[in-house]
C-alpha cells in the first residue's frame, strides 16, 4: 500500500522509500481573537477523530481534561476506513448527525478541491459551512490548552504552563521524532537496515524516557502536561499493535517496570483511559494495513487486565491536575464500550 495512511495526523507517505510524514496542509488555527478567521465559539466547530489514531487521541485526551465536551462536539469515525477516507458508519444512516456527511473527505473538499494530501484525523470542521478548518495535529491540542481557555471547565488543568513550555517542547520533540513517529518508521520500513536503525533509535529513546521517569511522576514538572499526553498515546498502543504489527519487538512496554507503571498511572487518570478503545485500535491497524498484515486477522491478545493493576507512582508525589481538579465522567454517548476496555 502506498500513498497516505489514514490513521496518521498529517500525511504519511510510504512505499519503497523510508517512511516520511509530511506537514499538515491545513494549518489555520481556531484562536481566541480569530486572527485566522476562525474565532473560538461554543458549538461552532466539530472535532473529528478516530479512536484508533494516536494523533487524534491527543485531542480526545485534551478535550476531556479541559472539559470542552459541551463547547466542541465530537464525531467518531469507523476504525475501518476505505479508499474514500474515514467514514461515519458508526452513526445512523452512515452519516455524521451534525455535519450530515458520509465521509470526512467531504469536509476537506468543501474547503479545497483536489488539495495535495490525504484525509487525516484529527480534523476540526466548522459546523455551519461544513468546511475543514485544520488538520494540524501538532497545533490542535496546544490551541485547545491556550486559546480555548474561556470555555474550559472550572478546575481545568494548565496543560501547557508558560514557565515549562520550553522544556515541554524539547521533550515533546524527542518523543515525536523517535517514539510517536519512530514506531511508524519501524512498521513501514522496506529494507532491513532502515528498520533496524529505526528500531534501535526507538528503544534508545524509550530507555532514556524510562531513566527520566524512574524518580519523577511526570515528564515535565510535577503535573500532567502536553508532553505526557503525547507520549501516552503511543505507549498505550505499544503492546497491542506496535510490538507485533510494527515489529517493535525488542521488548514490550509491560517489560519495562518504569514505563509500564507510568502508562498505567496515566491510563487510570480520568481523561486518559476513558478515551482509549482497544477494540478500535486493534481492528484498525490489523485490518487496514493490508501491506503488513494481508490476512486481516486481528489477534486475540494481549490481556488487558493489567491496565487496572496498582502502579504505585503516587510515591513520587506530584499533582496530576496541578491547581485544578479531575474531569467528571465522560458523557454517556462517549463512553468506551466494554469490548474496548479492560
Closest C-alpha among 148, 202, 151, 154 to residue 175:
202
What pLDDT shows up at residue 25? Answer: 84
Closest C-alpha among 107, 126, 118, 45 to residue 81:
118
What pLDDT shows up at residue 24? Answer: 67
Between strands 132-134 and 3-4, the pairing is: unpaired
Strand partners, 9: none
* pLDDT over threshold 70, residue 207: yes
How far apart (Å, rounded) are the C-alpha atoms in residues 53 and 310?
A: 27
For residues 59 and 141, the answer to whether their CB atoms sit within 8 Å is yes
Task: Indicate left, alpha or beta for 43 from its phi (over 0: left) and psi (-120 to 50: alpha).
Answer: left
For residues 308 and 266, the answer to whether their CB atoms sit within 8 Å is no
Calculate what percentage of the chain has a pLDDT beyond 90.
90
User: Would you please indicate which residues are annotated as catalytic (active-site) residues?
Assistant: 53, 184
In tens, the pLDDT along 57-96 reads 999 999 999 999 999 999 999 999 988 899 999 999 999 9
**What is the DSSP secondary structure assignment for residue 122, as one 8-state letter?**
S
Contacts (Cβ under 8 Å, ≥6 apart) of 199: 186, 247, 248, 250
What pLDDT shows up at residue 208? Answer: 98
Calculate what percentage of the chain has a pLDDT beyond 70.
93
How far apart (Å, rounded) are the C-alpha atoms in residues 62 and 83?
A: 29
Name the burial class of residue 95, with classes exposed (0-12), middle (13-18) and buried (19+) by CB atoms within 10 angstroms of its CB: middle
What pLDDT shows up at residue 306? Answer: 97
* pLDDT over threshold 90, residue 314: yes
Closest C-alpha among 59, 53, 73 to residue 119:
53
What pLDDT shows up at residue 273? Answer: 98
Using the CB atoms, write b or e for 164-200: b if 16+ within 10 Å: bbeebeebbebbbebbbbbbbbbbbbeeeebbeebbe
In tens, the pLDDT along 237-286 reads 999 999 999 999 999 999 999 999 999 999 999 999 999 999 999 999 99
**Which CB contacts under 8 angstroms, 24+ apart, belong to 32-37?**
32/147, 32/148, 32/149, 32/150
What pLDDT shows up at residue 177? Answer: 97
Q: What is the pTM of this model?
A: 0.94
In tens, the pLDDT along 7-44 reads 454 444 444 556 555 566 899 999 999 999 999 999 99
φ, ψ at 82 (rounded to 5°): -120, -170
Domain with CATH 3.40.30.10 in the chain: 3-151
For residues 63 and 74, the answer to whether their CB atoms sit within 8 Å is yes
What pLDDT shows up at residue 114? Answer: 83
**What is the DSSP secondary structure assignment for residue 209, as one 8-state letter?**
H
Q: Kindly write down the DSSP assignment for every residue of 254-276, as one continuous string.
A: GGSHHHHHHHHHHHTSTTTGGG-
Cell of 288: 487496514
For residues 234 and 180, the answer to whether their CB atoms sit within 8 Å is yes
What pLDDT shows up at residue 84? Answer: 87
Q: Does domain 163-340 sit in CATH 1.20.1050.10?
A: yes
Q: Considering the domain delimited by 3-151, tell me its CATH architecture.
A: 3-Layer(aba) Sandwich (3.40)
Distances (CA, A) of 38 to 22, 35, 239, 295: 24, 7, 39, 44
How far apart (Å, rounded) are the C-alpha atoms in residues 43 and 40?
A: 9
Q: What average pLDDT does the chain have?
A: 94
Distances (CA, A) of 143 to 275, 316, 317: 20, 30, 28
Closest C-alpha among 59, 62, 30, 31 to residue 47:
59
Domain with CATH 1.20.1050.10 in the chain: 163-340
Amino acid at each position: 500500500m502506498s500513498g497516505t495512511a489514514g490513521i496518521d495526523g498529517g500525511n504519511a507517505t510510504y512505499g519503497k522509500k523510508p517512511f516520511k510524514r509530511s506537514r499538515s496542509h491545513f494549518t489555520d488555527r481556531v484562536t481566541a481573537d480569530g486572527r485566522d478567521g476562525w474565532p473560538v465559539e461554543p458549538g461552532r466547530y466539530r472535532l473529528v477523530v478516530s479512536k484508533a489514531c494516536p494523533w487524534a487521541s491527543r485531542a480526545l485526551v485534551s478535550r476531556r481534561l479541559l472539559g470542552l465536551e459541551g463547547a466542541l462536539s465530537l464525531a467518531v469515525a469507523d476504525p475501518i476506513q476505505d479508499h474514500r477516507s474515514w467514514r461515519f458508519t458508526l452513526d445512523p444512516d452512515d452519516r455524521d448527525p451534525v455535519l450530515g456527511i458520509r465521509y470526512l473527505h467531504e469536509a476537506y473538499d468543501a474547503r479545497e478541491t483536489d488539495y495535495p494530501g490525504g484525509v487525516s484525523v484529527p480534523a476540526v470542521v466548522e459546523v455551519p459551512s461544513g468546511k475543514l478548518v485544520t488538520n494540524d495535529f501538532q497545533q490542535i491540542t496546544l490551541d485547545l490548552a491556550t486559546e480555548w481557555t474561556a470555555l474550559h471547565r472550572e478546575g481545568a488543568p494548565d496543560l501547557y504552563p508558560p514557565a515549562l513550555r520550553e522544556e515541554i517542547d524539547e521533550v515533546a520533540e524527542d518523543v515525536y521524532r523517535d517514539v510517536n513517529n519512530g514506531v511508524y518508521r519501524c512498521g513501514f520500513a522496506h529494507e532491513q537496515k532502515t528498520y533496524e536503525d529505526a528500531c534501535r533509535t526507538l528503544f534508545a529513546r524509550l530507555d532514556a524516557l524510562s531513566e527520566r521517569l524512574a524518580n519523577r511522576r511526570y515528564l515535565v514538572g510535577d503535573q500532567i502536561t502536553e508532553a505526557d499526553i503525547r507520549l501516552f498515546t503511543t505507549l498505550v498502543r505499544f503492546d497491542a499493535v506496535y510490538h507485533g504489527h510494527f515489529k517493535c519487538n525488542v521488548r514490550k512496554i509491560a517489560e519495562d517496570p518504569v514505563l509500564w507503571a507510568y502508562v498505567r498511572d496515566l491510563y487510570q487518570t480520568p481523561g486518559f483511559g476513558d478515551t482509549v478503545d482497544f477494540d478500535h485500535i486493534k481492528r484498525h491497524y490489523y485490518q487496514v494495513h493490508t501491506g503488513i498484515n494481508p490476512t486481516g486477522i486481528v489477534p486475540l491478545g494481549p490481556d488487558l487486565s493489567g491496565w487496572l493493576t496498582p502502579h504505585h507512582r503516587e510515591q513520587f508525589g506530584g499533582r496530576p491536575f496541578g491547581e485544578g481538579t479531575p474531569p467528571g465522567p465522560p458523557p454517556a454517548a462517549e463512553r468506551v464500550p466494554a469490548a474496548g476496555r479492560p
